[in-house]
Amino acid sequence: MKYPRRFKPLLESSTETVRPPDRLTAVFAVCAVDDSACGWGGWMLEGAAASGEGEIPGGERHLPICDVQVCPRCGRQTFRTAARRVYSPSTDQSALLASDAAAADLEYE
């Protein structure tokens, strides 16, 4: 697949070119808001913040995230439960998950 050349800087983003979060909040969400729900449950990203001058008390700044709270199985609205966790990055970033494989060589139009 060839990608639009005008998006090359976005497609080739790395941790050196974007501001990584210093804190992530995950929430356990379920698809159980009506009788037609599928019963899925899983972790979703609820928030990301970076330290520095910002709008959050304590000086953090909200970072943009995809926080659409829809079921990945059936597309219905999910319910965010009280099960939440806040994560901070490890100084050792070598232990990537299998899904974090390096991006393939990109081709542009």
Query: Residue range 41-61: average pLDDT?
Result: 81
**42-46 contacts, C-beta under 8 A, 24 or more apart:** 42/72, 44/69, 44/78, 44/80, 46/80, 46/84
Q: What is the pTM of this model?
A: 0.75
- pLDDT for 51: 83
Query: Residue range 36-59: average pLDDT?
Result: 85
pLDDT tens digit string along 72-91? 999 999 999 999 999 998 88
Q: Where are the domains positioned within the chain?
A: 30-88
- pLDDT for 14: 84
